[in-house]
Structure 1
Amino acid sequence: MPQFFLNKRLIILLVSIIILVALIGFSINDREKLTLPEQFLRDSMGWVAGIFHYPANGLKDFFQDVNELKDTYKENEELKAKLEEYVELSVKVSTLEAENKELRNLLGKTESIRDYTPIQATVIARNPDRWHEILTLNRGSNHGIEANMAVITSEGLIGKIQDVSPFTSTVQLLSAPARTNRISAIIQGKDREKTLGVIEGYDNVREALLFKRIPYDADVQEGDIVISSGLGGVFPQELVIGTVLEVFPADDGLTKTAYVEPAANLYDINHVIVVDRTMVSDADTTGEEEVEEN
């Protein structure tokens, strides 16, 4: 009995091997159509592979996107740094160009001043509360600066030296509302007689200087140039002060007053020239004192 079962198992094993070999041989032959078991097995394997394929690809794409995002962030930071550097350099270049132009204009103005010693200076401080009144320069008495010297830019007259210390000095601007802030000036019209008057006061609303004591019959027109008269020996002669904007009767009814737009930008001042007049006569000094007293 045991021998029979042993032989039976052997026979089943041999038959299974024969069937397997037959199936293998059958499957490797070129056929146009697969058997149902083969179709089922292949579809099952494809379905299982598809289940794992899409999540795997999704995970792969996710990590790839993360890496690309990191690279993009890094490139963005580098571009921002370069952009900030570019903006900073552009600002420096613009500032240097403006400063270079201003210094060149000042150099031309220095060469055009006769009988005066120019002292170049830079604005180092300006009080926001008194922005239209005074500013501080980096030059003082040790550099030859004295009180009442005229101060100009490449555009025109801006004021005079008020206080002096060894290494710094303060400038009283034309727009300062001080009683003693007066300048003898001339209105220079085209093909017309010059009109003498005094720059005295500043209109904050119109942002214009007040040219007073104009004779009532004087022919003064809009656009006329206002220059310093040079009387008194303090302010140089023929320094541009501004342009006439409007003329109107004064309160006394005997003279006229004119609004004068300053030639120089009194708001934005960086480099200036302090003018030291080297040739001063007693007669000129007396004349300037008379103007201030009046």
Structure 2
Amino acid sequence: MPIFQKKRLFILLIGIIILVAMIGFSLRDRDNLSTPEQFIKDTVGWAQNIIHTPVNYVTTIFTNIDDIKNTYNENQLLREKLAQYKSLVYEVQEIKEDNDELRETLNKTKSIQDYNPIQATVMSRSPEQWIEQVTINKGIQDGVKENMAVITAEGMVGKIQTVSQFTSTVKLLSGFDQFNRISATISQEESNDIFGLIEEYDDESNNLLFKIIEESNKDIEKGELVVSSGMGGVFPAGLPIGTVKEVKPDQYGLTRTALIEPAADMYEINNVIVVNRALAEDETSKDTEEDNE
């Protein structure tokens, strides 16, 4: 082996030994770092800090965007849940009101069994004739005829104006005029009823005008009940119409007219009863004939 190659091998071995010694020396636990080590460490730390700051900033931005997006989605979900909850509350309230109304209507039906009531539901109400008429879902096929009385659980609301096979139009009391009169009485104690006619509806006072026919010295008090008399031959007796609000004499003092506040709300009509008086009379006549036989 040439001398030059021996020197190179010797220098290489010395270098490896020195490198291993430095590595071992650097791996020892020491409290103080050498100046080169400090320089290298500070340089690496400074470079890491330069890189870490923008990376951390960008990461924070994306994290905030994700948080905002999640918050928005959660907010939308909560809004939908809240809307569903409100809708459910309104639906429950409407069902409760419908249930109460149907219960009252059923109780009223039981109290007028002699008149063969026909249960019906309001289908539509024309905006042009909102306070004058409504359309119900019962017609000729259900036994409905013109001029039959129509009531709710609170009292009378009108009469059948026109009929078709499966629907009918109800003329409301609030649309009555001099051509739609009702024979009625002011119900008082000891059978001292006062007879008269419901002549029309007064738009100014929103009351029915009750013209007293049988004049006497009887006092008429506010709040007294007005019911159908049954004398007109169309409506059965005893159907509540309203209560006395005020009594006014005519300009000559010969007759008096009472303002009657309707018992039923003309603006909130959903379920009604058509009073079939004719059918009840027919059944009563049949029962009477059978008894006579």
Give the structure-1-normalised TM-score.
Answer: 0.80
Which stretch has the larger CA shift, 22-31 or 176-185?
Answer: 22-31
Partner of 1:97: helix, strand, or coil?
A: helix
Which stretch has the larger CA shift, 56-65 or 237-246?
Answer: 56-65
Give 1:125 shift: 1.9
Counterparts of 2:190 and 2:40 in 1: how far apart (Å)? 112
Give 1:275 shift: 0.7
Q: Residue 261 of structure 1 aligns to which amino acid in structure 2?
A: E
Match of 1:269 in 2: 269
Counterparts of 2:7 and 2:250 in 1: how far apart (Å)? 141
Residues 100 and 6 (structure 1), Cα distance of their counterparts in 2 relative to 1, 3 Å cut = same
1:153 to 2:134 alignment: no
Residues 9 and 280 (structure 1), Cα distance of their counterparts in 2 relative to 1, 3 Å cut = closer
Q: Residue 198 of structure 1 aligns to which amino acid in structure 2?
A: L
Q: Would the aligned equivalents of 2:116 and 2:279 in 1 still touch at CA under 8 Å?
A: no
Give 1:70 shift: 4.1
Q: Would the aligned equivalents of 2:146 and 2:162 in 1 still touch at CA under 8 Å?
A: yes
Which stretch has the larger CA shift, 92-101 or 10-19?
Answer: 10-19
Q: Deviations over 1:247-280 (max 9, x none)?
A: 2333442222222221111111111111111389
Counterparts of 2:39 and 2:216 in 1: how far apart (Å)? 117
5 Å-filtered alignment, 1:112-261, equals 112-189=111-188, 193-213=192-212, 215=215, 217-261=217-261
Give 1:112 shift: 0.8
Give 1:35 shift: 2.7
Q: Would the aligned equivalents of 1:151 and 1:275 in 2 still touch at CA under 8 Å?
A: yes
Match of 1:28 in 2: 27
- Please provide the CA RMSD for this pair: 3.3
Match of 1:111 in 2: 110
Match of 1:285 in 2: none
Match of 2:278 in 1: 278
Q: Would the aligned equivalents of 2:194 and 2:212 in 1 still touch at CA under 8 Å?
A: no
Counterparts of 2:138 and 2:238 in 1: how far apart (Å)? 25
**What percentage of residue pairs aligned between the two structures are identical?**
51
Partner of 2:178: helix, strand, or coil?
A: coil
Q: Deviations over 1:104-135 (max 9, x none)?
A: 22221111115312111121121111111111
Which stretch has the larger CA shift, 199-208 or 62-71?
Answer: 62-71
Counterparts of 2:173 and 2:84 in 1: how far apart (Å)? 40
Partner of 1:268: helix, strand, or coil?
A: coil
Match of 2:57 in 1: 58
Give 1:78 shift: 4.0
Partner of 1:120: helix, strand, or coil?
A: strand
Structure 1: runs of 5+ lacking an equivalent: 282-294
Match of 1:44 in 2: 43
Residues 107 and 177 (structure 1), Cα distance of their counterparts in 2 relative to 1, 3 Å cut = closer
Structure 2: runs of 5+ lacking an equivalent: 282-293
Counterparts of 1:76 and 1:33 in 2: how far apart (Å)? 56
Counterparts of 1:170 and 1:55 in 2: how far apart (Å)? 78
Counterparts of 1:51 and 1:208 in 2: how far apart (Å)? 87
Q: Would the aligned equivalents of 1:161 and 1:172 in 2 still touch at CA under 8 Å?
A: yes
Residues 177 and 31 (structure 1), Cα distance of their counterparts in 2 relative to 1, 3 Å cut = same
Give 1:22 shift: 5.5
Counterparts of 1:244 and 1:103 in 2: how far apart (Å)? 27
Counterparts of 2:45 and 2:252 in 1: how far apart (Å)? 109
Counterparts of 1:32 and 1:82 in 2: how far apart (Å)? 63
Partner of 1:175: helix, strand, or coil?
A: helix
Counterparts of 1:8 and 1:198 in 2: how far apart (Å)? 142
Q: Would the aligned equivalents of 1:157 and 1:264 in 2 still touch at CA under 8 Å?
A: yes
Counterparts of 1:31 and 1:279 in 2: how far apart (Å)? 115
Q: Deviations over 1:75-98 (max 9, x none)?
A: 444444444444444444333332
Q: Would the aligned equivalents of 1:241 and 1:262 in 2 still touch at CA under 8 Å?
A: yes
Q: Would the aligned equivalents of 1:216 and 1:255 in 2 still touch at CA under 8 Å?
A: no
Residues 134 and 226 (structure 1), Cα distance of their counterparts in 2 relative to 1, 3 Å cut = same
Number of matched residues? Answer: 279
Q: Would the aligned equivalents of 2:117 and 2:273 in 1 still touch at CA under 8 Å?
A: yes
